[in-house]
Structure formats: structure tokens, C-alpha cells
Amino acid sequence: MENDKIKEKIFLIQKYFKIMKESSLTNQWELYRVAHKAMLEESLKLQKLLSKNNL
């Protein structure tokens, strides 16, 4: 159950990132960069938690 919630979070983060990436508005570049960094950090945390739970 816990793993499903983590996987759902990863999916939502990736979905948000895809929307940001597809946005062609140049004034959103800083937001895109910050969102990308946050997405990477959050994904790493969630993946570590997933692997820890699978042991």
C-alpha cells in the first residue's frame, strides 16, 4: 500500500514535469528549471524509500 502511494507521487511529479517541459512560454523558464530540480530531488527520495521498503 505504501509503495502504491510512492509510485503515484512519482507519476504525478513526472506528469507535472512533462506539462512544464511542453510549455513553450519563455518567461516560465525559471519555473521550469526549479520544478525540474525539485522533481529530480523528490524522485530520488521516493526511489530510495521504495527500494528500502522492498528489502
pLDDT in tens, 6-41: 888 888 878 877 776 776 655 567 777 777 888 888
Cell of 38: 525539485
The model's pTM: 0.45
41-54, pLDDT tens digit by residue?
888 888 888 888 77
Q: Where are the domains of the chain?
A: 2-53
* Distance, CA of 48 to CA of 30 (rounded, Å): 27
Using DSSP's 3-state secondary structure scheme, residue 24 falls into coil
Residue 54 phi, psi dihedral angles, 5° rounding: -85, -10
Query: In the numeric block, which cell numbers belong to residue 52?
Result: 528500502
